[in-house]
Amino acid sequence: MKKNGLYLQLISIHGLIRGHSLELGRDADTGGQTKYVVELAKVLATHEDVAQVDLITRLIRDKNISSDYSKPIEEISDGARIVRIQCGGRKYLRKELLWPHLEEFIDKTIKFITSQERPPDIFHGHYADAGYVAMQLAAAFDTPFFFTGHSMGKNKLAKLLADGMKKNEIIRQYKIKTRIDTEETLIEKADMIITSTQQEIDNQYGLYANGAAGKYTVIPPGIELDAFYPYYDSQLDIDLLSEEAKQTKITLRNELHRFWPNPEKPFVLAVCRPDHRKNITGLIEAYGMDKELQAIANLAIFAGIRQDINSMEDNERAVLTDMLLQMDRYDLYGKLAIPKKHDFATEVPTLYRMCAQSHGVFINPALVEPFGLTLIEASACGLPIVATNDGGPVDIIKNCESGLLVDVGQPEAISGALKEILIEQSLWDTLSNNGINGVRKHYSWSTHCKDTIEQYSRLLPEQQVDSSKSNLQQNIRPSFGKRLTSIRKLLITDIDNTLIGDDDSLYQLLDLLDEHRSDLAWGVATGRSLELTLEAMTEYNIPMPDILICSVGTEMYYGPDLRMDKGWQQHISNKWKPELIKETLEQFDFLVFQEAEGQRSHKISYYLENTDDRLEQVQQSLNERKLRCNVIYSHNQFLDILPSRASKGKAVSYLRFKYDFLPRFVMVAGDSGNDADMLQGNTRGLIVGNYSEELAYLKDAARVYFSQGKYAAGIIEGLRHYGLL
């Protein structure tokens, strides 16, 4: 990685993403967004202010799809790579099924970041799922985060309802509620939301409760200018055209000439899907009612790939049937061409240029047009445009001045605008040139890149660029993620009877921890709930540690703002059935339920005086009902029942894994039975001099040191013993 410059992480989790030959359209999740993020990653990496771009996506190893998607790292260009993170198994999953696995994705991305030279400066999430991941990572590393929705749940819900689908079914199949709730949060929390148009802000984000509070910037995506070059280039450089391009041109010309006895006239062109929302009928009506327009120009409508009208979907069939009926009604034989097939990728740019060469006009008659990609493409080729005075076209015309906006609901408005451009040669020339220049200025990838970097940079603290401020920076407490990924040594200590018990040595220890804070992180691991932990810290005036492992390892928080580790909670929820456990243990009169603070979402606690074989009875009854859980007894009075994946020791292992601490640089300190499993991990264990008898059996255990000193004095002794101080 270059030393100076921005380290950017773009996140786009679903779909099939790779650096070459994207399988666009293979399924609903592999489309425009996947193409966009790959292009974006590549172009951002070319910017001089950028050191590195990672495009983070899901790793998939599935025999039904290419093994390309299982490579953990794929370099896609100089300074840009795809980083694949596994979550929710390895099979390909549609995006709606990924929600439950995002915490795992976040944990593993943090782990990946830990292995890098430095954490990213910016996270940018694409679509709600990755937006959520970006938000969590940004909190961990204290960076800004960007969100690009690509499409929004509320619009999808409205569309599905309009199509007649039942709300319950939509919620079940599309997890639309989770998506919309997440989007609400993202709109509120994102440092910046990038949209392609103003229309998106008004009509999509605008539908959300937090819509008005969001921070937005419109940055339209770039188009591939190589494909959409101006019409005059192909005229001048006819020899340079590839054979394939020439053949495409001839095919298109022959096809059109079949319809037109006077093919030398200019023609008006429309290209769209056969969808009634595209208002093709409105266009034919406008043309059909205006004899003057018919005399000046032919009309060509390319409405999707048409095979057999009978086998089409209802909407498409209705549109095409209407077109044929209208052709008849207005007697447009010899004037209106409705060619059968077209191949969008290769034919459309040629078609725009042919139309421009005829001095024609491109029209998009749709009543609502959120973006209007075809208008940008046509303009890029130098073909003047006419479109609806609403949504995306308004932005395009404002930027490029390459055509006229009309009320497409009125046929005379359409034909009037078309005639104006067709008749006034100088207007045609101006619009054509404006389009060619305007698109290159506003809709090129390099413009998109420049504007995006500008937005990123605006949100970064100045210190990043100015190293003379580094003294000041040391006093600013970095986020827990940045701190934990940069520190090698870690102390985790129990509170009661380990950290606290002797005030003198406690303050001596706290001073030492402060002195060594730049290379030693520390945390507590306690049976206490978060509230009781904070109570103890206030009482003893203990500064906020880096990590709080509470309720016997079932909850984990990071200081200073006590952010809960949701990945951990999700991980331990596996097979946790608290209601069944309580029900099973009801039979034992000798178990006394602890007060409310003792009961947590992932911890059930009792008082128990362990005489006879009471503990065994408890364990046995749980085994009989196959309730998998972790039973921990301490101080001869506390009985804690935890999920089988939870304990203080397991919480410490999880931390070690996530932030990549080596076992020999981690010391755990304790005094009683609920510390036993963390003392026996492969980290370094320390048992204070005042330990309770239940730990005596560890005397011979490997990697456990029994200190002479009691309480915090014992911790200091241990830290010195293991060379951590």
Closest C-alpha among 352, 163, 335 to residue 257? 335
* CB-nearer residue toward ligand GLC: 69 or 633: 633
When CB distances are held under 5 to 8 angstroms depending on the partner's kind, the choice from Mg ion, ligand GLC, none that residue 358 binds is: none
Tokens standing for residue 380 = 């890029």
When CB distances are held under 5 to 8 angstroms depending on the partner's kind, the choice from Mg ion, ligand GLC, none that residue 724 binds is: none
Instruction: Establish how many alpha carbons lie within 13 A of residue 486's alpha carbon, considering only the half-sphere containing its beta carbon.
Output: 14
Our separate counts of H helices and E strands in the chain read 28, 26
SS3 589: coil
Instruction: Tell me the window of 1-9, 168-176, 566-574, 669-677 that interacts with Mg ion (CB under 5 A).
Output: 669-677
When CB distances are held under 5 to 8 angstroms depending on the partner's kind, the choice from ligand GLC, Mg ion, none that residue 598 binds is: ligand GLC
From residue 71, give the alpha-carbon distance in Å to each of 34, 35, 90, 410.
Answer: 17, 19, 12, 55
| CA of residue 402 relative to chain centroid, distance | 35
* CB-nearer residue toward ligand GLC: 10 or 646: 646
* CB-nearer residue toward ligand GLC: 267 or 638: 638
* CB-nearer residue toward ligand GLC: 501 or 598: 598
* CB-nearer residue toward ligand GLC: 326 or 529: 529
Tokens standing for residue 313 = 């979907």
Looking at the chain, how many residues does it have?
725
**Contact criterion met (CB below 8 Å) for 462 and 469:** yes
**Contact criterion met (CB below 8 Å) for 397 and 306:** no
When CB distances are held under 5 to 8 angstroms depending on the partner's kind, the choice from Mg ion, ligand GLC, none that residue 347 binds is: none
When CB distances are held under 5 to 8 angstroms depending on the partner's kind, the choice from Mg ion, ligand GLC, none that residue 339 binds is: none
When CB distances are held under 5 to 8 angstroms depending on the partner's kind, the choice from Mg ion, ligand GLC, none that residue 415 binds is: none
According to DSSP, the residues that pair with 687 across neighbouring strands are 670, 706
When CB distances are held under 5 to 8 angstroms depending on the partner's kind, the choice from Mg ion, ligand GLC, none that residue 349 binds is: none
From residue 607, give the alpha-carbon distance in Å to each of 97, 438, 472, 591, 593.
Answer: 42, 76, 51, 6, 6
When CB distances are held under 5 to 8 angstroms depending on the partner's kind, the choice from Mg ion, ligand GLC, none that residue 594 binds is: ligand GLC
| Cβ neighbours of residue 294 closer than 8 Å, sequence gap 6 or more | 287, 288, 332, 335
Instruction: State yes or no: residue 294 binds Mg ion (CB under 5 A).
Output: no
In the list 671, 676, 677, 683, the residue contacting Mg ion (rule: CB under 5 A) is 671
**Least distance in angstroms from the C-beta of 676 to ligand GLC:** 11
**Contact criterion met (CB below 8 Å) for 445 and 39:** yes
SS3 315: helix
Q: Which residues bind ligand GLC (CB under 6 A)?
A: 527-528, 532, 552, 594, 598, 605, 634, 638, 640, 674
* CB-nearer residue toward Mg ion: 496 or 660: 496
**Least distance in angstroms from the C-beta of 552 to ligand GLC:** 5
Element (H, E) at 395: helix 392-400
* CB-nearer residue toward ligand GLC: 217 or 692: 692
When CB distances are held under 5 to 8 angstroms depending on the partner's kind, the choice from ligand GLC, Mg ion, none that residue 527 binds is: ligand GLC
* CB-nearer residue toward ligand GLC: 434 or 551: 551
**Least distance in angstroms from the C-beta of 490 to Mg ion:** 19
* CB-nearer residue toward Mg ion: 191 or 494: 494
According to DSSP, the residues that pair with 82 across neighbouring strands are 55, 74
**Least distance in angstroms from the C-beta of 495 to Mg ion:** 7
What number of chain residues touch Mg ion (CB under 5 A)?
Answer: 5
In the list 12, 52, 672, 683, the residue contacting Mg ion (rule: CB under 5 A) is 672
Per-residue HEC secondary structure of 505-566 comes to: HHHHHHHHHHHCCCCEEEEEECCCCHHHHHHHHHHCCCCCCCEEEEHHHCEEEECCCCEECH
When CB distances are held under 5 to 8 angstroms depending on the partner's kind, the choice from Mg ion, ligand GLC, none that residue 528 binds is: ligand GLC
Say how far apart CA 102 and CA 359 lie, in whole Å: 53
* CB-nearer residue toward Mg ion: 634 or 683: 634
DSSP assignment letter at 371: S
Q: Torsion over CA of 112, 117, 121 and 126, rounded to 10 degrees?
A: -30
Binding mask 384-423 for Mg ion (x = CB under 5 A): ----------------------------------------
| Cβ neighbours of residue 696 closer than 8 Å, sequence gap 6 or more | none
Give me the phi and psi of 681, to 5 degrees please: -65, -175
From residue 187, give the alpha-carbon distance in Å to each of 128, 137, 192, 203.
Answer: 10, 16, 9, 14
When CB distances are held under 5 to 8 angstroms depending on the partner's kind, the choice from ligand GLC, Mg ion, none that residue 497 binds is: Mg ion
* CB-nearer residue toward ligand GLC: 384 or 649: 649
When CB distances are held under 5 to 8 angstroms depending on the partner's kind, the choice from ligand GLC, Mg ion, none that residue 605 binds is: ligand GLC
When CB distances are held under 5 to 8 angstroms depending on the partner's kind, the choice from Mg ion, ligand GLC, none that residue 368 binds is: none
- Residues within window 484-543 making contact with Mg ion, judged by CB under 5 A: 494, 496-497
**Least distance in angstroms from the C-beta of 529 to ligand GLC:** 6
**Least distance in angstroms from the C-beta of 690 to Mg ion:** 10
* CB-nearer residue toward ligand GLC: 436 or 591: 591
**Least distance in angstroms from the C-beta of 604 to ligand GLC:** 10
Closest-approach residue to ligand GLC (CB): 527
CB atoms closer than 10 angstroms to residue 338: 18
Say how far apart CA 187 and CA 205 lie, in whole Å: 8
DSSP alpha helices (H): ranges in 573-682?
Answer: 578-585, 614-624, 648-659, 676-679
Which residues contribute to the site for Mg ion (CB under 5 A)?
Answer: 494, 496-497, 671-672
